[in-house]
Structure 1
Amino acid sequence: MKKSLGKGLGSLIRSNETNFINKNQEITKTEAYLTDILPNKNQPRKAFNSELLNDLAESIKINGILQPIAVREVDNNKYEIIAGERRWRAAQLAGLTKVPIILFEANNEKTFELAIMENVQRQDLNPIEEALAIKELIEKYNFSQEKIIDITGKKRTRIVNILRVLDLPDKVQKLIAEEKISRGHGIALLSFKEDANLLEIAQSIIEKELSVRQVEKLSKNTKSEVKSDKVKKDIYIENIIKILETKLGSKINVKGTSTKGKIEIEFSSLEELNKIIGHIE
């Protein structure tokens, strides 16, 4: 399956991590031992490609770390990463003991925001990580849509579509996170009827290498078939209602389908009820 994933939270963020922190803040550049640097437990990026990490480690062995790791100071003379966890991990693989850092002041909310922005800038987040990160900004930090739009550079409709993939079943989300199907495929899957087996359809996308357009067309065809079946069932039930109303002389309501349901017979007096019973007997 060819990769056709979206570009993540936003390729529109053009600044580097030393620019998207408060410009009025004094910046301290120094070095720190790797053992004194802690990963950000709220890092929106959950998966790190081992092959790419090894490539970066080899580059660091030759050229060193060209861009310092952005950190904030925490308890016990330790530092927490704001931006640059991938470089920190690669530095360990490269056998470094110290790395250059840039020290900033940032609270939890700002740290999470900046972590997103760094991953966004490098398009490092997969679509599920991206959606979960935006969801956390909204639910945990009460970010407005306007603020998220300002951070990401995305239009409101784009943000809505990014979040929509979280409506998919967990197993389908996993396929998107693993880049086996794209976000576009995921959104196309949401157009299928509610009782559709979305995981089965997702597996079919992978096996047959279906494009997003092909999935959308499949969804439309499925809806047409369902609509056609519904019309046929309605016609059948209507015929039954006419037969019963003619035989019993009363108003008939049928709830359900041609295979399962219930029949309601209306009457407005004891006389009418006895008349209906007589017809049935």
Structure 2
Amino acid sequence: MKSEDYPGKPKPAVIGLRKPAEIPAGAPSSAKGRAAMLEKLDAKNVEPLIGELITNDQALQEIQLSLIDVSPYQPRMVFDAVAISQLAESIGEIGLGKPILVRPLPNGRYELVGGERRWRAITILGWDTISAVIKPMNDDMAMLLALADNEHEQLTDYELARSYDRYLKNGNDKSQSAIARRLGINRSVVSRCLDLMKLTPAIREVLDQHPGLITANYAKKFVELAGKHQHIVERQVLSMVDKGTKQEQALRQIAQKISACSNPVAPAFAPRAVVGIGTMKLSGQKLELKCQDGINPNLVMEQFEEFLKTVDPTKLSVVVES
């Protein structure tokens, strides 16, 4: 009888089984079902933040929404109303997957440090309380955590620039390298974003309303051009809002306008009548003669050539002032 354990005998395949992800109640194809599933996945993605924050000096509890004040360090300038509404719908279906982060204030109220989108969504739902991590912290830490909390939904470069600039002015760290190290990002990211803070006040007023209009990749070029041609750049930035012009196209248009201003075309003078012949007009370096009806232009050109032979060219030179 042949052995059942002989060399080269095919081994049975190993099939790994994994428990499938839990699907929220409701029809999987419905918008609510998809939103609920994404909410649970989102909660898993940010779970480390909760684990890092729950320490001995803080507590997780339900607090009244009416006792919460928004953070003065919130970097986000524009909140997508549609996205907040969808988040509210999701939370209404499956609950709040991640608590917000607040710090206690001396007056008995709480300042929102992280989770303003969730707080806004629950406000829409009309709930009286919200699950919150209460953590005592100074302003320095509140600024840093406000930035870290928004990593899940990307901030614009200008929103980041404002927060970096505020932290460098008011926080404990006074260098770009220090803030980059605290946030775990490359220093060049901080530096390029901060170029946006060098734009003129008029341009920054536009970015306050449209923070995604100019990105860090193009900030330095806008700054350089605005330093030499401020009004041209400021008008073009306003045009970007009105016409939806993209950054690269806007920079090309700025360059064209600067070139036109540097090399202006000589104005065209009004036509002068030449009695019995037609009209004569000067436009830049061109002298144009238009013959009236009945005048042969070939004969006029012959007469003009004969006249030019009698002219002294030295008396027609442009006088250059020293």
Both proteins in one fold, TM over 0.5: yes
The corresponding residue for 2:310 is none
Structure 1 portions without partners, runs of 5+: 1-13, 230-237, 242-281
The corresponding residue for 2:38 is none
Closer/same/farther in 2, CA of residues 157 and 226 from structure 1, 3 Å limit: farther
> Is the 8 Å Cα contact of residues 180 and 206 (structure 1) preserved in structure 2?
no
**1:151-166 maps to which residues of 2 (within 5 A)?**
151-166=182-197
The corresponding residue for 1:265 is none
For residues 187-234 of structure 1, the C-alpha deviation after alignment (integer angstroms, 9 at most, x for no partner) is 4322323344222112344566544333444455566667768xxxxx
The Cα shift of 1:89 comes to 1.9
Percent of aligned positions that are identical: 22
For residues 214-263 of structure 1, the C-alpha deviation after alignment (integer angstroms, 9 at most, x for no partner) is 3444455566667768xxxxxxxx9422xxxxxxxxxxxxxxxxxxxxxx
SS at match of 2:133: strand
The corresponding residue for 1:54 is 85
For residues 109-151 of structure 1, the C-alpha deviation after alignment (integer angstroms, 9 at most, x for no partner) is 111111111123421x333332111111111114222221123
Q: 2: CA distance between counterparts of 1:208 and 1:77?
A: 48
Give the TM-score taking structure 2 as reference length: 0.58
The corresponding residue for 2:166 is 136
Do residues 194 (structure 1) and 229 (structure 2) align?
A: yes
Closer/same/farther in 2, CA of residues 224 and 20 from structure 1, 3 Å limit: farther
Do residues 17 (structure 1) and 52 (structure 2) align?
A: no
Q: 2: CA distance between counterparts of 1:133 and 1:25?
A: 29
SS at match of 2:229: coil
Closer/same/farther in 2, CA of residues 60 and 121 from structure 1, 3 Å limit: closer
**1:1-281 maps to which residues of 2 (within 5 A)?**
16-18=48-50, 21=53, 25-123=56-154, 125-143=155-173, 144-176=175-207, 177-179=209-211, 181-183=213-215, 184=217, 186-192=219-225, 193-206=228-241, 209-220=244-255, 239-241=320-322
Q: 2: CA distance between counterparts of 1:171 and 1:131?
A: 17
AA at the equivalent of 1:194 = H
The Cα shift of 1:76 comes to 4.3
SS at match of 2:194: helix
Q: 2: CA distance between counterparts of 1:180 and 1:27?
A: 36
Larger-Rg structure: 2
SS at match of 1:18: helix
The Cα shift of 1:72 comes to 1.8
Q: 1: CA distance between counterparts of 2:250 and 2:47?
A: 37
Q: 1: CA distance between counterparts of 2:169 and 2:212?
A: 28
AA at the equivalent of 2:134 = L
Q: 1: CA distance between counterparts of 2:49 and 2:178?
A: 18
AA at the equivalent of 2:123 = Q
Q: 1: CA distance between counterparts of 2:150 and 2:190?
A: 16
AA at the equivalent of 1:202 = V
AA at the equivalent of 2:223 = L
> Is the 8 Å Cα contact of residues 28 and 103 (structure 1) preserved in structure 2?
yes
The Cα shift of 1:20 comes to 5.6
Q: 1: CA distance between counterparts of 2:50 and 2:257?
A: 51
> Is the 8 Å Cα contact of residues 158 and 212 (structure 2) preserved in structure 1?
no
> Is the 8 Å Cα contact of residues 233 and 254 (structure 2) preserved in structure 1?
no
The Cα shift of 1:91 comes to 0.8
The Cα shift of 1:28 comes to 2.1
Structure 2 portions without partners, runs of 5+: 1-45, 265-318
Number of matched pairs: 221
Q: 2: CA distance between counterparts of 1:15 and 1:160?
A: 30
Q: 2: CA distance between counterparts of 1:43 and 1:109?
A: 13
